[in-house]
Copies of this chain bind each other. A is one copy, B any other.
Amino acid sequence: MPAESEPGTAAQQDRRRRILDATVELASEGGFDAVQMRAVADRASVALGTLYRYFPSKVHLLVTALARELERANDAFERKPLAAPTAQDRVLHVLNRITRSLRKEPSLTEALTRAFMFADASASAETRAVVAQVHRMLLRAMRDPAAEAPSEPTGEQRAVAQVIGDVWLATLVQWVTGRATAADVGRSLEVAVGLLLRPSADR
């Protein structure tokens, strides 16, 4: 019995993958404005109506693509151990890695970030998936990798992860909107992490 969680036939899964791939390609090339629904449909070899059957709006489409990208990044992260001794160092390491890859793809970052920020309540399922991936990433970095059993995060850890995630998104918006440079993003995150994760207690 196949334990696949993916719904639909193989052809449908392939259409969905093609659509998301086309979305990321167009976003990488020209940012939010270049992700035009007709262009996505064309590049994915799918009719416009079919695109709307799979994703009910441009925002749903882009936020879903963001969730998929974060999921991939998380899976890649989890294959490597985090060696740094303190939670602060580990969190900063992870954040710096992500920031570096965002800097390499500014148009893609702009497209995905603006879609996430513009999403309304109808896309809350998709935005929640994105937030869940961010928390997964941060909580893993905060957890002590030396501990044997991966314990449940404490309430304070969750709160700190939430705040760091908020700061991350806010600074990302500042970068995308031209109010801060990529270097500023890194600095802001370091400041926030420094304020929130004092190295004294490895909380």
- CB nearest neighbor in B for A187: B159
- CB nearest neighbor in B for A120: B177
CB of A178 within 8 A of CB of B117, answer no
Copy number in the complex reads: 2
> Which of A117, A127, A128 has the most chain B CB atoms closer than 10 A to its own CB?
A117
A33→B147 CA distance, assembly (Å): 51
> Chain B contacts of A170 at CB under 8 A?
165-167, 169-170
A interface, over-half SS: helix
> Which of A124, A131, A178 has the most chain B CB atoms closer than 10 A to its own CB?
A178
Which positions 117-170 of chain A face chain B at CB distance < 8 Å?
117-121, 123-124, 127-128, 131, 159-160, 162-163, 165-167, 169-170
CB of A171 within 8 A of CB of B178, answer no
State the Cβ distance, A106 to closest chain B Cβ, in Å: 11
Residues of A whose CB lies within 8 Å of any CB of B are: 32, 110, 114, 117-121, 123-124, 127-128, 131, 159-160, 162-163, 165-167, 169-171, 173, 176-179, 188, 191-192, 195-196
